[in-house]
Amino acid sequence: MKSDKKVTVWILTLVRVIIGWHFLYEGIVKLFNQAWSSASFLMESKWLLSGFFHWLAGDSTTLFIVDILNTWGLIIIGLCLFVGVFTRIAGVFGVMLLILYYIASPPFVYSSLPSTSHFYIINYNLIEAFILAGLASLPAGYLWSIQRLFLFYYTKRREERFPVPDNQQKQTEFGTTRRELIKNLAVIPVFGTVFFGMLRKRGWLSFEEKNLAARVDAISSASLISAKKIDIKELKGRVPAGKIKDLEISRLIVGGNLISGFAHARDLIYVSSWMKAYFTDEKVIETLWLCEACGINTAILRTDENTIRILNAYRKRGGKIRWLAQTYPKGQDITNIKSAIDNGAIGAFVMGNIADLVVRDNRIEDLAMPIEYIRSQGIIAGTAGHSMSVPEACIANNINVDFFMKTFHSDKYWSSTPVDPADPYLPEQGNGHNQSHDNLWCMGELAVTDFFRNNSTPWIAYKILAAGAIRPEDGIRHAFSSGADFACIGMFDFQIIENANIAYNALKSDLGRERNWYA
């Protein structure tokens, strides 16, 4: 029976050391990787306390504190378990940390992912939490450890000072031979030697570099490592907001072409397929969460079944980003607009291509009627347009809109195609898009600036980067300094923080704009 107990003690000691090593490794990796942040993990939370986790990720100061606590919590818990000091306290805090990981990323939410770390109910977080709870329930010094070694010497010294009578058997809880010292220390160097040998061979950052190269999104066990190159700590401030009527809308709005898998990539016809593969449902939801964390509270998205399905899933998880719907009325058929309203759009507008053609063909009623219907439903209404003839037709025909969307960018980039200065969207000029390459969307920036300088309708500028031909720091500042009240940009998740910072800096600086803010 005594030998069985020793075997049990050895096995439980080994289990404690392995779990401690796991925690310690994860903490050290995060400590020496300056790019690591728990932001994406927190924003992907979809279960209990998801709103709390999203709030933690949404504030840069709070997130900084969370990252510090997480990193050093893993290191301290791991070190205590690894060498065997304060093991009961470390076990309790380890259980608490693992349960938080489990709640933030439960396996039944991610069960469709091809990850060996997630099963339908049980995952490594829960398994380690149960094991740690069991270890924490053991008496202090039960397992071999430095703590047990200290207790042994304390007991030995106490007995030397206060001898036990010869006729009474000496009882020590922690053993009485020198072999105890060997047992307590034997398990420590095994994993430590491996660890420091790896460090000497590869260097501190090689572990994280390997993880980044692997591009693994799944979260396993005590790990919060995410291979996404996203760090919310770099956010300089939340994007300022303006108002259209009573709705507060961020000055920077995320566009939906990329999310829907549409790319203006000229003759690279495979790019849209790539983007549809990249923007899975989870990636779209993650992108929207990241926008929220940066203060971008509005998205301009298409009105179709795919968009509505993803938005519904996003809202069930607590997502609050507002949907400004791009709609496609067909003459007097406004079924598409009704679908947007029924599914929670805060506003809707007629798509630019449709409005261009309606005005070109002098079918003004097909523009006025949808806008009037949208307004009658109590949400903001507007129209987009590539041609200046669209907003001009609205003014000339007394079509009341709450906002205009107008393409706007300079032609100061190398791939801009020389075109006749006449507006190619006018009736006599043809079909517009076929007149030039598809990164030229604004045929006369001065005419646009002049129109809005004398118009008090809120203006959302879009295509401001000419389909990626213009640098964001140039295009965003140019839009705001020229009079735009809002700027809409299609963004990948890894571009959001940078663009939010550019907009924040521009809006906090002296833009030298001549037009008043009308939102």
- Are 329 and 430 members of one domain? yes
pLDDT one-digit tens code per residue, 362-388: 999 999 999 999 999 999 999 999 989
Q: What is the mean pLDDT of residues 12-31?
A: 90
CA atoms within 13 A of residue 484's CA, in its CB half-sphere: 30
Q: Are residues 126 and 257 in the same domain?
A: no
CB–CB of 265/272 below 8 Å? yes
- Count CB atoms within 10 A of the CB of residue 172: 14
Q: Is the pTM of this model over 0.75?
A: no
Is residue 162 domain-resident? yes
Query: Does the pLDDT at position 149 exceed 60?
Result: yes
Nearest to 298 by CA among 350, 260, 243: 243
Which band of pLDDT confidence, cut at 50, 70 and 90, is reported for residue 207?
very low
Q: Which secondary structure element, helix H or strand E, spans residue 80, and what is its range? A: helix 60-83
Domain boundary among 165, 199, 214: 214
The pLDDT value recorded for residue 462 is: 95
Question: Is 209 found in the same domain as 246?
Answer: no
Which pLDDT band, with edges at 50, 70 and 90, does 198 fall under?
very low
* CB count in 10 Å sphere of residue 4: 8
Of residues 195 and 290, more confidently modeled: 290
Handedness of CA 116, 94, 319, 58 (dihedral sign): negative
For the chain, the domain total comes to 2
Q: Which residues of 181-211 are buried (b: 16+ CB within 10 A; e: fewer)?
A: eebbeebbeebeeeeeeeeeeeeeeebbeeb
Whether the predicted pLDDT of 175 surpasses 70? no
Give the span between the Cα atoms of 49 and 318, in whole angstroms: 10
Instruction: Determine, yes or no, domain membership for 518.
Output: no
Average pLDDT over the chain, rounded to an integer: 80
Q: Which two tokens stand for residue 331?
A: 């003459």
- Give residue 135's pLDDT band: very low, low, confident or very high (50, 70, 90): confident
pLDDT band at residue 189, thresholds of 50, 70 and 90?
A: very low
Q: Say whether both 64 and 111 belong to one domain.
A: yes
349 three-state secondary structure: strand
CA distance 473 to 465: 10
The whole-angstrom separation of Cα 421 and Cα 158 is 98
**402 and 348 within one domain:** yes
pLDDT at res. 341: 96
Q: In this structure, are 249 and 119 located in the same domain? A: no
Q: Is residue 332 one of the residues assigned to a domain?
A: yes
Any domain includes 232: no
Domain match, 156 and 251 both: no
In this prediction, residue 2 carries a pLDDT of 56
Check residue 380 and give its pLDDT.
Answer: 97
Q: How confident is the model at residue 217 (pLDDT cuts 50, 70, 90)?
A: very low
Q: State the residue range of the domain holding 188.
A: 2-214
H or E stretch including 210? helix 206-214
**pLDDT band per the 50, 70, 90 thresholds, residue 265:** confident
CA atoms within 13 Å, Cβ hemisphere of 279: 26
Domain assignment present for 287: yes
The strand pairing partners of 382, in sequence order, are 349, 403
Q: Copy the structure tokens of residue 301.
A: 């998205």
The confidence band for 134, taking pLDDT boundaries of 50, 70 and 90, is confident
User: Distance between CA 126 and CA 132 in Å, rounded?
Assistant: 10
Query: Average pLDDT of 262-291?
Result: 83
Q: Residue 267 sits in a domain of what CATH number?
A: 3.20.20.100
- Residue 438's nearest CA partner among 416, 421, 423, 460 is 416
CA pair distance 288, 268, nearest whole angstrom: 27
Q: Provide the pLDDT confidence category of residue 259 given band limits of 50, 70 and 90.
A: confident
Answer yes or no: is 428 within a domain. Answer: yes
pLDDT digits (tens, 9 = 90+) for 332-358: 899 999 999 999 999 999 999 899 999
Whether residue 191 sits in one domain with residue 294: no
pLDDT at 176 over 80: no
- 167 shares its domain with 312: no
Which of the pair, 247 or 222, is modelled with greater confidence?
247
User: What is the Cα–Cα distance from 282 to 303, expressed in whole angstroms?
Assistant: 19
pLDDT band of residue 515 (cuts 50, 70, 90) is: very high
pLDDT band at 193 (very low <50, low <70, confident <90, very high): very low
Nearest in space to 138 (alpha carbons), one of 93, 91, 96, 181:
91
197 or 502, greater pLDDT: 502
My answer on whether 171 and 305 are in the same domain is: no
Nearest to 46 by CA among 122, 102, 112: 102
pLDDT in tens, 449-475: 999 999 999 999 999 998 888 999 999
Q: Give the tens place of pLDDT for each residue, 311-330.
A: 999 998 888 999 999 999 99
Tell me, what's the pLDDT at 384? 96
DSSP type of residue 437 = -
Give the pLDDT score at 422: 54
Give the mean model confidence (pLDDT) for residues 30-49.
Answer: 81
Task: Between 32 and 254, name the one with better pLDDT.
Answer: 254
Q: Report the pLDDT value the prediction gives residue 216, as an integer from 0 to 100.
A: 39
Please report where in the chains the tokens 């001065």 appear, as a residue: 446
pLDDT at 504: 96
Q: Judge whether 351 lies within some domain.
A: yes
Could you tell me if 209 and 245 lie in one domain? no
**Rounded Cα gap, residues 269 and 271, in angstroms:** 6
Q: Confidence band (pLDDT; 50, 70, 90) for 420?
A: low
Structure token pair of residue 382: 């507007």
Residues 23 and 125 reside in one and the same domain: yes
Q: Is residue 236 part of a domain?
A: no
Two tokens, residue 199 = 């460090």
Evaluate if residue 484 carries a pLDDT over 60. Answer: yes
The per-residue pLDDT for 229 is 53
Find out whether 75 and 31 touch, Cβ atoms under 8 Å: yes
pLDDT of residue 51: 80
Q: Tell whether the model's pLDDT for residue 95 goes beyond 60.
A: yes
Closest CA to 27 of 79, 64, 63: 79
Confidence of residue 425 (pLDDT cuts 50, 70, 90): low
Residue 241 has pLDDT above 60, yes or no: yes
62-83 as b/e, with b when 16 or more CB fall inside 10 Å?
A: ebeebbeebbebbbbbbbbbbb
pLDDT over threshold 50, residue 73: yes
Q: Is the pLDDT of residue 253 over 90?
A: yes
405-414 confidence digits (pLDDT tens):
999 999 888 7
Residue with tokens 């295009």: 475
Q: How far apart are CA 195 and CA 185, in angstroms?
A: 17
